[in-house]
C-alpha cells in the first residue's frame, strides 16, 4: 500500500498498521474495541474510508468489514458479560464504583430502555466499547440485543464511512472548525437533558398526586 502521508492529524496513529495489514488490521481493531478493549476502532475505520476516497481501499469492503466485525465484537462482549460479568462486578466492581445496587439499577434501566441504548451506544465513546458487556450482565435477551446492535452498527458504520469517504482528508479541517463550537453544543445538550428531567419529574409527581387523590374515593365509594 502507498505511504500514509495523506492521512491527516490524529489518523497518523493507525496509518502504519493500516498500511501494512489493510483490511485485516481494520477487522482486528474493530473486533477488540467492540468487546471492551481500548482500541482505536472508529479511528481506523475513518482512516480506511479516507484511503478509499483516494483509491487505496474499497469503500464497500471497508463498510462491510467494519459492520460485520463491530457486530461480532459486541456479541463477544455480550457473552463475556453474560457468563462472567456479574461475578466480576460483585468481586471487583467496588474498585471502579460499580456496586451491586448500581448494577441492579442498570438492569432496570436496560429493561425499560435497553433497545434505544444499544442503538445509540455506538456513537458514544466508552459506551461503545462496553455496550455488549453491559447488555450481557443485565441479561438482555440475545436476539433482541443482536437486532438492535446490528441496527446501531449499521447507522454508525454508514455515517462514518460515508462522511469520511466524501470529505476525505478535509475531514480533520471540518472537525477542527466544529471543535470551536463544542461548548455551545454541550451546553445545548445539558439544557435539553435538564428540561427533559424536569418535565419527567413533574409528570411523575402529578401522576402520583392523581393516584393519591383517587385512592380515598375508591376505598369509600358513595
Going by pLDDT thresholds of 50, 70 and 90, the confidence category of residue 67 is very high
Q: What pLDDT was estimated at residue 164?
A: 85
Q: What pLDDT was estimated at residue 155?
A: 93
Going by pLDDT thresholds of 50, 70 and 90, the confidence category of residue 27 is very high
Give the residue, 5 or 120, on which the prediction is more confident: 120
- Report pLDDT digits (tens) over 195-212: 766 776 777 778 777 777
Q: What pLDDT was estimated at residue 101?
A: 67
Q: What does the pLDDT average to over 86-103?
A: 60
Q: What does the pLDDT average to over 148-176?
A: 80
- Report pLDDT digits (tens) over 167-192: 876 665 555 554 554 556 556 656 76
Q: What pLDDT was estimated at residue 5?
A: 43
Give one DSSP letter per residue of the chain, joined into a string. Answer: ---STT--GGGGGGHHHHHHHTHHHHHHHHHHHHTT----HHHHHHHHHHHHHTTSS-HHHHHHHHHHHHHHHHHHHHHHIIIIIHHHHHHHGGGGT--HHHHHHHHHHHHHHHHHHHHHGGGSTTHHHHHHHHHHHTT--HHHHHHHHHHHHHHHHHHHHHHHHHHGGGHHHHHHHHHTTHHHHHHHHHHHHHHHHHHHHHHHHHHHHHHHHHHHHHHS--
Q: What pLDDT was estimated at residue 1?
A: 44
Q: What pLDDT was estimated at residue 62?
A: 93
Most confident of 10-14, 48-52, 217-221: 48-52
Amino acid at each position: 500500500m502507498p505511504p500514509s502521508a495523506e492521512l491527516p492529524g490524529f489518523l497518523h496513529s493507525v496509518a502504519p498498521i493500516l498500511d501494512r495489514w489493510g483490511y485485516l488490521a481494520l477487522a482486528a481493531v474493530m473486533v477488540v474495541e467492540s468487546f471492551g478493549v481500548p482500541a482505536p476502532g472508529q479511528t481506523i475505520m475513518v482512516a480506511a474510508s479516507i484511503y478509499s476516497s483516494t483509491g487505496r481501499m474499497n469503500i464497500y469492503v471497508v463498510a462491510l468489514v467494519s459492520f460485520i466485525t463491530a457486530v461480532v465484537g459486541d456479541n463477544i462482549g455480550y457473552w463475556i458479560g453474560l457468563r462472567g460479568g456479574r461475578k466480576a462486578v460483585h468481586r471487583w466492581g467496588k474498585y471502579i464504583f460499580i456496586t451491586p445496587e448500581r448494577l441492579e439499577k442498570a438492569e432496570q434501566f436496560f429493561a425499560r430502555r435497553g433497545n434505544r441504548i444499544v442503538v445509540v451506544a455506538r456513537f458514544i465513546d466508552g459506551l461503545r466499547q462496553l455496550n455488549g458487556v453491559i447488555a450481557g450482565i443485565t441479561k438482555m435477551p440475545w436476539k433482541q440485543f443482536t437486532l438492535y446492535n446490528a441496527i446501531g452498527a449499521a447507522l454508525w458504520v454508514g455515517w462514518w464511512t460515508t462522511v469520511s469517504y466524501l470529505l476525505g482528508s478535509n475531514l480533520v479541517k471540518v472537525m477542527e472548525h466544529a471543535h470551536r463550537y463544542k461548548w455551545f453544543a454541550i451546553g445545548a445538550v445539558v439544557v435539553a437533558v435538564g428540561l427533559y428531567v424536569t418535565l419527567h419529574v413533574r409528570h411523575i409527581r402529578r401522576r402520583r398526586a392523581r393516584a393519591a387523590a383517587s385512592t380515598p374515593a375508591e376505598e369509600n365509594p358513595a
